[in-house]
Amino acid sequence: MKRHARLCGALALLAAAVPLTAGAQSRGRTDGPEESEYGKGGYGDNRRGLSLQLDWGAAINSVKPPRGAPEGPPLFVGATLSLWGDDWYQLDASAAYVFDGGRFIGMIGPTFRTWGWPLTFTAGLKAGAIVSPKGDGLRFGISPQVGAEFLLGDSERIVLGLHYSPDIPIGGDGVTHRLYMNVGYRF
């Protein structure tokens, strides 16, 4: 009889201890070095999301624009919308207008980033449309890209960058070399 009483007492004690440990767990823990928390609680994952960037800089055509094409300074403006999969890669959709020759460039493709803070290096390959108002018209093109970016602010939401990108139309009328800066914000 004593044996059954001990077994019942041990089971009752175990049954009372389980809800106490579950209640203690709901508060969460933040052990370890700063920003490396694990388990319940800690910091959220801010590495994913969207960013919108404004691009501007020099755009030099390898051939002279055809007669009748808009003339302008060797500059361009554009914008890039990025879908961040993680800190090391993103999918970019970008559009740019080159003033000298009136060329429009619309590209989409991945960009890969090195680990580092606050400076990261980037490399990417985009493909899409290159439109010249005179001459070749609409062409498919590719655009490899290399650069470096700074992530600023405590939450690393502001992006400043310097990039080089040659826009190469397939079967087209010459390459446009773009050297540019960008400023953006990660949502």
Choose between 61 and 25: higher pLDDT.
61
pLDDT beyond 90 at 79: yes
Q: How far apart are CA 32 and CA 39, in angstroms?
A: 11
CATH of region 49-186: 2.40.160.20
Q: What is the predicted pLDDT for the residue at 5? A: 55
> In the chain, which residues fall in CATH 2.40.160.20?
49-186
> From the CB of residue 137, how many other CB atoms can be counted at a distance below 10 Å?
11
The pLDDT score that the predictor gives to residue 25 is 47
Q: Strand (E) positions, 12-157?
A: 49-61, 75-86, 89-98, 103-113, 119-131, 138-152
Q: In this prediction, what percent of the chain has a pLDDT beyond 90?
A: 38
DSSP letter at 172 equals S
Please answer whether residues 167 and 141 qualify as being in contact, where contact means their C-beta atoms are separated by less than 8 angstroms: yes
* Percent helix, strand and coil across the chain, each to the nearest 5: 15, 50, 35
Contact 73, 100 (CB under 8 A): yes
d(C-alpha 154, C-alpha 43), whole Å: 13
Is residue 21's pLDDT more than 50? Answer: no
0.85 cut: is pTM over it?
Answer: no
pLDDT of residue 80: 95
HSE value, Cβ hemisphere, 13 Å, CA-based, for 31: 5
pLDDT higher than 90, residue 77: yes
pLDDT digits (tens, 9 = 90+) for 125-171: 999 999 887 766 788 999 999 999 988 877 678 889 999 999 998 88
Highest mean pLDDT among 22-31, 39-48, 151-160: 151-160
Banded model confidence at residue 23, pLDDT cuts 50, 70, 90: very low
